[in-house]
Structure 1
Amino acid sequence: MVTLSPPELIELITEILDDRKALDIVILDLKDRGAIVDYMIIASATSGRQVGALADTLSQSLKQRGILPVVEGMAQADWVLVDAGDVWVHIFKPDIRLFYNLEKMWSGAQVPSDLIVA
């Protein structure tokens, strides 16, 4: 089994999301904020179908690398969580993302876009 460091995992995930046309990808660094995860990646998709497709592609890619993600929310596909251990990925339809506004909840944790490798 291949173990990826959090930065390698973030790079892999953001590349997959970007390649599959996810929108507004944001990375939150939560290491020093008392959260139960080190990083969150938040992205939008144009429809529930795309939310599900992004989550499925991401999950399959992680499994191919020996990472067994936990995926929640596929039945509705308005908001899907892919738990990849140190990194959680939230994929939203835009209206659902706006409603929950995780970026505001974790304000100040956003990684500057020039540090994103994707």
Structure 2
Amino acid sequence: MNPSPQRPTAKAAAKPHAEMIEVILESLDDAKAEGTVSIDIVGKSSLSDHMVVTSGRSHRHVSAVADQLSRALAEHGFGKPRIEGLPHCDWVLVDAGDVIVHIFRPEVREFYNIEKMWSAEFSGDTH
């Protein structure tokens, strides 16, 4: 019996999210995303294990970064992530399961400052 393509197999689910984070960070770097921060949220949220926050310079750049990230995740076997916020591209959320990526325009990122909210011990560690 073959598993449904919508549901990850046990082997795919066991694929370390560290590998997914590496793919995400490389994709964001290739797309020229700015100020990328990676935050471990294990034990802080039941939604995900890791969060990545980054910025695009404009609406168009935020959209392009999200699109490139979605393609990179699929190409590396992580499936197609759920994406929200594309119509306006002020804040796009890319939900890859174990890792959630927030892509902001700079002024929107500054307003919400989610790095501080999710990481009390946030040290400003950027990639």
TM-score normalised by the shorter chain: which range applies?
Answer: 0.7 to 0.9
TM-score between the two structures when normalised by the length of structure 1 = 0.87
2:54 maps to 1:26 = no
How many residue pairs get aligned? The number is 115
Q: Give the corresponding residue for 1:91.
A: 103
Q: 1:81 aligns with which of 93, 98, 101?
A: 93
Matches of 2:72 and 2:52 in 1, distance apart? Answer: 16
2:21 maps to 1:10 = yes
Q: Runs (4+) of structure 1 moved beyond 6 Å?
A: none
Q: Is the 8 A contact 2:48 2:100 kept in 1?
A: yes
Q: Which has the higher contact order (CA 8 A, sep 6+)?
A: 1
Uncovered stretches (5+) of structure 1, i.e. residues with no partner: none
Q: Report the Cα offset of residue 10 of structure 1.
A: 0.4
Distance 1:109 1:88, change over 3 A: farther
Q: Give the corresponding residue for 2:112.
A: 100
Q: CA RMSD in A?
A: 2.1
TM-score between the two structures when normalised by the length of structure 2 = 0.81
Matches of 1:17 and 1:109 in 2, distance apart? Answer: 24
Matches of 2:125 and 2:57 in 1, distance apart? Answer: 21
Uncovered stretches (5+) of structure 2, i.e. residues with no partner: 1-7
Task: Give percent identity, aligned residues only.
Answer: 45
